[in-house]
C-alpha cells in the first residue's frame, strides 16, 4: 500500500484539524502518524496517510482545494516503500529541557552536542515565553540515548554547554509504556 506525507501550513484559526481530517475520512484515508503545532501565528501539520484504493497523489490532491481556498498551503509527497515505518531504536528515551535568554545558536549548539554523541533527536519544540521585558527561550527535546548511556553521563556532557550558552539544561528519563 502506498503512503503519502501530507503537510498543511497556514494562518492559525479554529477548525483546521477538523477540516483536514474530514477530507481524509471522507476519502477513506488512514492516518498512520501525525504531528501538528502552532508556530508563531502559523498552524502546521504533517501526516503520514494511506488508502488501499489510491496509488498516486494525483488521484486525491483535488480533495484539498477547499483548504487552499481558505489560505492554507497543502503539500503532498509520495513516500518510498517503508517510509511510513518508524525504525526500531535501541536505547533509552529521555527528555532534555533548555531554558534561558533568547539568543542565536541555542538549537544548533545543543543539537550538535547531541549529534556528536550519537544521540538521536526524535522530537523538538521551541517557544519564546514570558513577556517582552523578560522573554525566556524554551526548548524541549525528546531523544533516544545510545544503548548503555546513562542520564547522568548526558547531564555531565551538558555542563560545559550550559556554561557557554548561559542556559539551564536538564535531562530526565522517559518511561515508555506499551498499551
Domains 3-78 and 93-173 share a fold: yes
pLDDT digits (tens, 9 = 90+) for 53-101: 999 999 999 999 999 999 999 999 999 887 666 667 678 899 999 999 9
CA 177 → CA 81, 85, 93, 174, distances in Å?
Answer: 28, 19, 11, 9
Say how far apart CA 91 and CA 140 lie, in whole Å.
19
What residue spans define the domains of the chain? 3-78, 93-173
Protein fold of 93-173: Alpha-Beta Plaits (3.30.70)
Residue 177's pLDDT band (boundaries 50, 70, 90)? low
Q: Which CATH architecture has domain 3-78?
A: 2-Layer Sandwich (3.30)
Q: pTM higher than 0.85, yes or no?
A: no
Amino acid at each position: 500500500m502506498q503512503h503519502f506525507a501530507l503537510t498543511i501550513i497556514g494562518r492559525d484559526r479554529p477548525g483546521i484539524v477538523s477540516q483536514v481530517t474530514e477530507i481524509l475520512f471522507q476519502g477513506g484515508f488512514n492516518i498512520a502518524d501525525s504531528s501538528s503545532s502552532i508556530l508563531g501565528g502559523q498552524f502546521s501539520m504533517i501526516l503520514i496517510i494511506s488508502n488501499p484504493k489510491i496509488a498516486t497523489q494525483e488521484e486525491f490532491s483535488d480533495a484539498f482545494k477547499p483548504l487552499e481556498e481558505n489560505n492554507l498551503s497543502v503539500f503532498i509527497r509520495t513516500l518510498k516503500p517503508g517510509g511510513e515505518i518508524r525504525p526500531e531504536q535501541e536505547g533509552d528515551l529521555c527528555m532534555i529541557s533548555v531554558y534561558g535568554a533568547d539568543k542565536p545558536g541555542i538549537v544548533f549548539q545543543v543539537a550538535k552536542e547531541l549529534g556528536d554523541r550519537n544521540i538521536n533527536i526524535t522530537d523538538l519544540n521551541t517557544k519564546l515565553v514570558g513577556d517582552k521585558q523578560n522573554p525566556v527561550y524554551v526548548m524541549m527535546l525528546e531523544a533516544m540515548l545510545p544503548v548503555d548511556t546513562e542520564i547522568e553521563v548526558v547531564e555531565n556532557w551538558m555542563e560545559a554547554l550550559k556554561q557557554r550558552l548561559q542556559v539551564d539544561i536538564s535531562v530526565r528519563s522517559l518511561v515508555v509504556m506499551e498499551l
